[in-house]
Amino acid sequence: MKGLKLIFYKEMRESLTLKGSYILSLAFFSISIILLPIGVGPNKTFISTISPGLIWVSIILTSLLSLGSIFHEDYNDGTLDLYKIGPLNMIEVCFIKAIVHWLSNFLPLILITPILSIFIEFPPNLLIYLIFSLILGTPALSFIGILGSSLTLSLSQHNLLIPLIIFPLFIPTLIFGSGAISSLIFVGFEDLFIRQILILTGISGLSVALCPFGCKYILDVNYD
């Protein structure tokens, strides 16, 4: 347990200081949200209608920026070799890396979303539902993301390949994440919102439960 805590603190420190991917993520997400209404046009009603989709698409596109750094730097500097030969279970290491990625990349985006929602005319009364859906849905993106990062571990063009591999796996989260909020905007039907939120939670739950095992298997194959 002590070793896992040390890895968690190390990964958090590197994510917040050395890697600094959260700064790039915040900047890209903010620019996307601010510029999208300019491209769509001045129709505030239309912008408000599509605002859940705009937020979720921006979240997913932003997540692709930081996935390449989850394992690649540890692979290059030999840290991953130490994890492999050490006493720690690689499933737990993969789990911690996904949690750190969510805390350092998605949590800041979720926290800044209420401010940015002003630019896309998002209904203020539905803001709590939006934050709720992001908290439940974005863990799936981090845990699925570690699969893409481990698959492209030894490739020089890993940053180009990860979006091609991972983006199709993000589509269910996008559909039910944005669909849950859109159901409230279009029809105000909370039963439909609850059903889609339950599916979104199920996707995240399965990702959290299964992806660390898949990540360990991929890393074992890469090293063998």
b/e per residue 102-123 (b: at least 16 CB within 10 A):
bbbbbeebeeebeebbebbbbb
- pLDDT, tens only, 162-184: 888 888 999 999 999 999 998 88
What does the domain layout of the chain look like in residue ranges? 2-223
State residue 20's pLDDT score. Answer: 59
- pLDDT, tens only, 56-69: 999 999 988 888 77
CB 47 within 8 A of CB 40: yes
Residue 9 burial (10 A CB sphere; 0-12, 13-18, 19+): exposed
DSSP 109-145: HHHHHHHHGGGGT--GGGHHHHHHHHHHHHHHHHHHH
Residues 6+ apart with CB under 8 A from 30: 112, 116
Q: How far apart are CA 173 and CA 183, in angstroms?
A: 15
